[in-house]
Amino acid sequence: MTMPSSNLFALLLVAVTFTATVQSARAAQPEPSTLYNIGGLLSNAGQESYCGSDPAPAEFHVLHPRDGETQPLEHLVVPVSVVIYIGSRSREPFDISVVNDQLEIVNRGFETTNTSFELQEVAWIVDDVWAKGDDLINLQVDHYRGNASMLNIHIVESVNNLNKTYGQCSFPPTKDFIFDGCVISARTIPDAPGHTDYERFQGKGLIHMLGHWFGLSHSTSGGCFQSQAAAGDLPLSLPTSGCPVGADTCPDQPGEDPIHNFMGFNSELTTATRDCKNEFTTGQALSMRKHWETYRASGRHRSRLALPLLNPVHLGGYLPFYAVDPEKALAVKTLCSPDRKGVVRVTDEKRCGTEWYCSKGFFKYRHEASEDSAACKALRMRPGVSEI
């Protein structure tokens, strides 16, 4: 979640103005990702500022429950590991009671899904780079606990490396993985150091992100044209900010906007008279449980962080070219890049691949005659070949 600007949380204008704005936007038939925050509509950048999680994998959509499908859900208890990263100059203590209170908010949000979260362990790490949310891959790899059925939560003071978002969670791992879990900024957690906006952040951001951890997409995925999100029982809608009760951004589709849904982008504000974001649908509850049973319940363990020797490909150059399996791209990025201390663990072209070896300048360590990355690649490719 990136810090949304204040206008992202402004209430909608009067209903007539809002409706006219929506109809005007739809008349131009924009893609949902190009809509701007006019009259309460939320731009794609605004959505990214709220949540840094990637789109759901395509295979998740087959696990959406059928229309009208219901089934009793047994009580599910998810074990939780929390690591808190603190800068060396931090003076305000981060007490475990803050973590317990945040999990209590999460448990209330998931109550209708018959799911609860139980803290198993908590650790504090003093590190200036990780506290700022930098070097996030190594942060998550180095401090991963348990298996796919344990929720790993990493709390940082700020999230510099997520396009200024306030957090993200990974989706259930469908293939081999080297880390899994959530990174969240302390400023979104009530009473945590750095949390100052009690109206904007009331602890529900983690509920939203845990929906992703269970396989849910945003409630507005697909806009008015298709429902990728939606587990079958969410009205189609466009992203809005604030708490626009009665909004109907897809008037040609049944139902008003699901502004109370945890997987939307609406306000967390809770008052004596209004609780805007407060629910999962029955379909979402079933979808989360299906994803749990398919991808997490068995307790799959992560893959060992290692890079295999690559087979050379000859592209007509003086030297062979080494191509990386896309499934190993994250491991390459982790092991073949400088960590927060500037240490590169692997520089071997036969493991990092030629693209990475040349672009990162590793050829210099091997006393290769190449002047730059382009010359490095030219030694491995015939003229006219730019990639594999």
Residue 7's pLDDT is what? Answer: 35
Residue 223's pLDDT is what? Answer: 83
Residue 222's pLDDT is what? Answer: 76
271, two tokens: 């008052």
Question: In whole angstroms, what is the distance from residue 303 CA to residue 298 CA?
Answer: 15
Q: What is the pLDDT along the chain (388 residues), one digit of tens a residue?
A: 444 433 333 322 223 333 333 333 333 333 333 222 223 555 555 555 557 666 666 655 555 655 556 678 999 999 999 999 999 998 888 999 999 999 999 999 999 999 999 999 999 999 999 999 999 999 999 999 999 999 999 999 987 655 557 899 999 999 899 999 999 999 899 999 988 777 788 999 999 999 999 999 999 887 888 654 456 788 999 998 888 999 999 998 899 999 999 999 898 887 767 788 999 999 999 999 999 999 999 999 999 899 999 999 988 888 999 999 998 999 999 999 999 999 999 999 999 999 999 999 999 988 887 889 999 999 998 655 655 4
Handedness of CA 118, 121, 126, 132 (dihedral sign): negative
Residue 323's pLDDT is what? Answer: 94
Yes or no: say if 174 and 370 are a contact pair by the CB < 8 Å rule.
no
**Domains in the chain, start-ordered, CATH in brackets?**
1-303 (3.40.390.10), 312-378 (no CATH)
DSSP 292: I
Residue 28's pLDDT is what? Answer: 34
Residue 9's pLDDT is what? Answer: 30
Q: Which long-range CB contacts under 8 A does 199-202 form with residues at least 24 apart?
A: 199/269, 200/4, 200/9, 200/267, 200/268, 200/269, 201/166, 201/268, 202/105, 202/268, 202/269, 202/270
